[in-house]
Every structure is written in C-alpha cells, then in structure tokens.
Amino acid sequence: MLRQLSIIALSAVLAASTVAHPAAAKAGKPVNEDEPRGALGANFNQNLDAVNYRELRETGTEWVRGFFPMPATDQGDPAEHFAIRTIVQTAGRGYDTILSLKFPYNQASFPEPGSAAMAAELARLDRVLPNLLDKVDIITIGNEPFIESLPAERDQRLNEFYETVARHVIDYRREHCGADCRTTLYMGALNRLDLPDRRTPAAERWMTFVRETPEIAGVDIHPHVPAPENAQAFLDYILPRMRDDQTFLVTEFSLVWYWKQHLEDPISAEFAKRYGFAPDTRVWQVIKAAIDEPVSRRQWHDFLTSSPWFMRQSGFLRDQMRLYRDTGRLAVATYGLKQDDLMVANFGPKKDPWLLNSVFATFTVKPRASGLSAPGYWLDDFKALQAD
C-alpha cells in the first residue's frame, strides 16, 4: 500500500528523484521511493518537435510529455515520426518521459471489439509499442477520450474500445518487456469533472476499469477549468475510485476558460498610454497585435501585470501544484511549456487563449539574442516548483 507521505517526506522523495531515475512499478506492488512523486514537468502536446534542451535546462525540469496520434502509424515507420523520435531521444538524454497515445475518433465511430477495424487498430499498437517500451517511463492509454469521440458514443462503446486497447497494451508489455519493464501504464485523460454532466456512467466505468486492472498504475486528468477551485472536483472524483497503490497524472492543466472570459475586457489606461494603444482597445486586440509583430519581454510582462483579471490568478501554478501534491498521490503533473502555431492561428475574441498559459512566450515576444524563446509570466514559478 502507498505510504501516506507528509509534506516533509514528500519533499525528500522529490529530492531523491532528481538523482535516481524513476523505475516502473510492478503491477499490483507497493510504490517504492524511486517512483515519481509530485514532479512538475513540461508538456508539449502535439509539438514534441519544439523540444529545446537548453530551454528545458533553464526550467530545471526532469520530465517531458507529449502525445502521438495513432493514425500517424499508417504514414510510415512510427520510429521516424517526430513525436516518437523526440520522446525516445529525450529519454536517452536522461529526462523522464510520458507519451500519451491519442485515438482520435471524433469524426468516426469506435471500431467494435473483434472487428477488422479493431484488429487494424491493435496492429498499429504492435508497430508503435516496440519503440516505446522500456524507453519511456510512462505510456498513457488515451489522450482525451471523452473529447476525442463522437458525443453519441461516449457510453459503453467508448469503454469497450479503450478497455480492448488497454488489455492489448498490457499483454504486449508482459510478453515483450517482462516483469522489470521500465514503462508504467496509466489511463487517460478525464476532462471537466467539475461539471456534473461529465460524471457519466461511462466515466464511472472508466474508473472501475482503472481500479480493477492491477497493471494500470492510475489515471490521468486534464483540469482545464474556469476557476482554480474547480480542480478540487477532479480529485474528489478520482481518488475514492482508485486503489490505495495507485497514483494520478495531471498532464495538462490551465485556466484557459477563465482567460477566455476576459478577452473582450478593456486594457488598462496606463498600459494603453505607455504603448500607444487606443483607450478602448480590448485584451484580444493586444494579443493579436503581439502575434502579428512580437513585442519586447517588458511590454508583454507589463500587459499581463497591468491586467487585474490576470493578476488575480497570478498564483495559479503554485496553488494548483500545492493542491495536487498535498494529496500524496500525484505522480507527475506537466504544464504547457511553449506557445505553438495552433494557439496563434486566426486569433480573435472567440479563440481559446491557450497561449496565456505558456511558460515561454514563443510567438508573442521577440526571441532572446541567444536564440531561445522569451520567458512568459510563469517561468519563475515553474522553476521554483522544481525544488519544492
């Protein structure tokens, strides 16, 4: 059974984890001191080709996470896909790594177990898994299943598909990687558990499968929320439904829905005067202007710190990590490291402003003379949280 760690003991485990590489847990066995506990890493989602090891060293993180879209297996050798190539290379450099396997079925029905379509999906896994097992530390089976699916099929059909996939991954790992396999398996990830209508029978069955499958180390959650306090609902839902020896991942989390509520707010009069904006300029217009012509780090910082709505949440990263770590059950959380091209494309007042979450302001701020991305608002807290 997992030890119930105090804050002091948790800090000691985290300090030890910077020396010892986390070993994968044997299914159904107690968690040992080499396992990840409470780490904060860098999330790249679909942009693992944006990994910059100098930037990673600057943050102090030891963990890197991204996802691999399974249909890409049909386009050639998965070992040559930039996501798999990068995550394996990153692991080879000594970083701890998480790769989520993404099954996008939001435009087509799930294949039925036993069907030719399911056999093709499992054959994809057989091509992908040899490149990952005993190389990456954690494979998450699924990315966001309750989003990457047809709304009408977010029922037992979703469960049957992911359970079939999970059992195949479990069997493959046992047969090809052995009892001491470095790679741990999680199921993920659950979204918007702060909304009662997302706690469906399918979500309940998801957690039942996680709990009753000894080879699964735990569950992944993505608390993208409109208010910091909403994240508690995720923990209240998953923790009672897990075994005592299981932990959880938080491979994505943010206040994106809160930021979006303020895109049409007016900017501060002081900021407008200092940087030559019209008095009635809106938040989204300043962001769009910075995308079109990146600004100085000072100007971007002044824009954010002059915005009361932003500064009310300036402790978000610290507070969320405290919430997750205080459970004693967090394995790893990863936070968005860099702005990417999808975040800035067609930016307007209705755009989801993911770019405000990023540790590095890659697209809105001029790069540094060294060629590195400019730090955004969150870098100092991200670095400080490595030592907590």
Residue 298 lies in a domain: no
CA distances from 74 to 134, 168, 198 (A): 23, 19, 32
State the CATH number of the domain containing residue 246. Answer: 3.20.20.80
The residue range of the domain holding 45 is 7-256+315-338
Residue 293 lies in a domain: no
What is the rounded distance in angstroms from the CA atom of residue 188 to the CA atom of residue 179?
23
User: What's the total number of domains in the chain?
Assistant: 1
Residue 273 lies in a domain: no
Question: Phi and psi at residue 318, in whole multiples of 5°?
Answer: -65, -45
Q: Judging by beta carbons within 10 Å of its beta carbon (0-12, 13-18, 19+), is residue 319 exposed, middle or buried? A: middle
Residue 322 lies in a domain: yes
Each residue's pLDDT tens digit in the chain (388 positions)?
333 333 333 333 333 333 333 333 333 333 445 678 999 999 999 999 999 999 999 999 999 999 999 999 999 999 999 999 999 999 999 999 999 999 999 999 999 999 999 999 999 999 999 999 999 999 999 999 999 999 999 999 999 999 999 999 999 999 999 989 999 999 999 999 999 999 999 999 999 999 999 999 999 999 999 999 999 999 999 999 999 999 999 999 999 999 999 999 999 999 999 999 999 999 999 999 999 999 999 999 999 999 999 999 999 999 999 999 999 999 999 999 999 999 999 999 999 999 999 999 999 999 999 999 999 999 999 999 997 6
Q: Judging by beta carbons within 10 Å of its beta carbon (0-12, 13-18, 19+), is residue 142 exposed, middle or buried? A: buried
Kindly state the tokens that stand for 266.
């007016």
Strand ranges inside 159-201, DSSP E: 184-191
Cβ within 8 Å of residue 363, ≥6 positions away: 291, 294, 339, 340, 341, 343, 344, 355
What's the whole-model pTM score? 0.90
Residue 346 lies in a domain: no
Residue 18 lies in a domain: yes
Residue found by looking up tokens 């000691």 in the block: 12
Maximum CA extent, the chain: 66
Residue 65 lies in a domain: yes
